[in-house]
Chains A and B, each alone.
Chain A
Amino acid sequence: MWSLAWKNVRRGRGRSLLTSAAVAAVVALMMIMYGFSGAVVNGMFQNLTRSTGHLILRVKNADKIREFERGLIQDAPALQERLARALPGADVEAMLEVPALLAGEKRSRGVLLYGLEPGGRLMREFVAKKLTAGGPPQNGEEWSAALGRTLARALKVKVGDGVYAFVPNTSGIGAAAFSVSGLVAFPESTIEARTAIITLAAAQELAAPNAASRIVIFLPGLISPARQGRLEQARSKLAPLVPAGFELLTWRQAEPAMAAILDMMTPLLLIYAVIFFVLAGLLVVNTVYLGLVERIREFGVIIALGADRWRIMRLVIIESLLLVLSGAAVGGALGGLAVWRMSHGFSLPGPLARQYAEFGLPVVMYASITPAQVALVFAFAVLTALASALWPAWLAGRLEPVEAMRHVA
């Protein structure tokens, strides 16, 4: 039966080739789309978690606490050390966010001072990569701060100028002078207008000695949100170390809006897959149906010789499967090749890359597709073949041998 089906598929060569090519295009396109979406999701995930970390330890409901002191992790270095010991290989960093009044010579603005560890991953992410002038803040005889460009403009200061930070009613010294070490650019100007970055030590001395507003944990090699299992594993390992009144959040819980955007990709791609495969399926129906109409006499003979309707239906379905699967194999190979090449890094065209960067997409992305996604694409192809063959197979199965043998195409 398979041999006859294959010969029948090859009989209408032009039509079969066109249909298989359409299926191949859809399969290749879907694989590339999955690869591209993998690149986007992973890129956004990596960009996001570079600044949030994979796990975040903070005071329970810290985002709802208005009082500065109550939102602090006291004796942060000890806790930080315990967490680091429990997760060898992970980077555990503390940061302290301090609401402050920052004043230049003539103007002042309400800002958020971010105290970060010099040389840490957060400092690299927040400052080193975003510097447009000068350098990162340093611990030294004179404290320095990197200011958002818009903030610097508002305060009318430039690199090398002095600014003054006021943080009244805290356990720190409450006020200090900083020199502007550099200017940083953020994608959003509103953030740029109220952000200044200083060292963790400076922030602690200014507002809360030995404290942090959050401890951020980076797990090594976690580059995809799909590996939720590893995250949960690390989380349960750290859970016993979390003191009462504190919470250990995953990046998903800390950034639910971003997580929702990333989660949207899966259903979105499924919708695309359904649309593309339905279109390809219509072509397959057409080919299988025309193949049936042209061979009604032949089907009549096969039935006359003793094939029952199920066998005839099976023949039609096998023909459809061969038509689709041959296309899917070619499409899978082409799509796989494209994804493999894209997995070594690719960039979107200039304007598009800039636009996408607003959503946290890196300039160079790396395509990635999971075996489950490849299996899904092929499952769609098989489903298309079966669904497309159903109606022609039903018609073929109901042919009466005598009438069919009299049929003139």
Chain B
Amino acid sequence: MNALVEARNLHKVYKADGVETPALRGVDLTVQAGEFTAIAGPSGSGKSTLLHLLGGLDRPTDGEVWLDGQRLDDKNAVERARIRLWKVGFVFQAYNLIPVLTALENAAFVLELRGRPPAERRQRALAALAELEMGGYAERRPNQLSGGQQQRVAVARALAAEPAVIFADEPTANLDSKTGLALIEYMKRLNREKGLTFVFSTHDPRLLEHVRRVVRLEDGRVISEEVAG
């Protein structure tokens, strides 16, 4: 079976003021369609860097990234943006909703970028918000929502676009443990019921008890991979 996401010998070195800081040192990873995978590890282990590379937000210093049969690492910024638009959903640690837009408009934003007609955007965004039990907050702006609610809108934004894979970079880091766990449960349900592929990073060990596959990173290397039975 072809992997949906594949990283081959991935290296990433950041350069600043002549100083080279390696973030990833030869990571190999495959994610099959429909998987719910956690990338775990302490701060600075390279989790975010790995997700950025897998999602085409950045290019590796060395190695290959494949997404849904397309190679990402040799694409320029415009081509990668196009692949992200049609294939990838993102959920960020800081929610990163657009503050001037309502929850509904935020949820519909990727569809707007894709040029979908307004009626379809509205219908799909409302459905996604409803999945996350945020339908009643559709007209609220991000500053009128709690952190957990904002993150659910962010997940709805990714969900509404029906991407091949959703990368969630520490989605629970800014939430209390109860809200964080609830968010993971939402994501798991979407994975189970809709077959959505999730790859998320976390450094919170309590969340990992609820995830079937956990890939552990340390110092930019995969040190273990656990798949619960």
Contacts and interface: CB of A to CB of B under 8 A. Distances in A.
B116 interface: no
Nearest to B77: A309
B100 A304 contact: no
Contact of A305 (B77, B101, B105, B109): B109
Contacts of B101: 4, 7
Query: In this complex, which of A4, A306, A308 has the most chain B Cβ atoms within 10 angstroms of its Cβ?
Result: A306
Interface string A294-325: 00011001111111111100000000000000
Given A301-B92, A405-B96, A307 B81 contact: yes
Contact of A298 (B58, B78, B88, B99): B99
Interface string A1-31: 1011001101100000000000000000000
Contact of B98 (A298, A311, A400, A405): A298
B84 interface: yes
Contact of B78 (A1, A302, A308): A308
A304 B84 contact: yes
A7 B100 contact: yes
A302 B98 contact: yes
A402 interface: yes
A311 B113 contact: yes
Given A4-B98, A8-B100, A402-B52, A304 B57 contact: yes
B36 interface: no
B92 A303 contact: no
B86 interface: yes
Contacts of B112: 1
Query: In this complex, which of B77, B86, B101 has the most chain A Cβ atoms within 10 angstroms of its Cβ?
Result: B77
Interface in B65-111: 77-78, 81-82, 84-86, 88, 90, 92, 96, 98-101, 105, 109-110
Given A4-B98, A7-B100, A7-B101, A306 B85 contact: yes
Contacts of A182: none
Contacts of A303: 81
A305 B78 contact: no
Nearest to A3: B105
B205 to A, nearest CB: 26
Nearest to A303: B81
Contact of A306 (B81, B92, B99, B105): B81
A401 interface: yes
Nearest to A302: B98
A304 B90 contact: yes
A74 B84 CA distance: 90
Given A304-B90, A401-B57, A4 B100 contact: yes
Nearest to B89: A305
B121 to A, nearest CB: 12
Interface in A381-396: none
Nearest to B79: A308
A357 to B, nearest CB: 57
Nearest to B58: A402
A310 B77 CA distance: 11
A4 B85 CA distance: 18
Nearest to A297: B96
17 contacts: A10-B100, A298-B98, A301-B96, A301-B98, A304-B84, A304-B96, A305-B84, A305-B110, A306-B86, A306-B110, A307-B113, A308-B77, A309-B78, A309-B81, A400-B77, A402-B58, A405-B96
Interface of B: 52, 55, 57-58, 77-78, 81-82, 84-86, 88, 90, 92, 96, 98-101, 105, 109-110, 112-114, 157
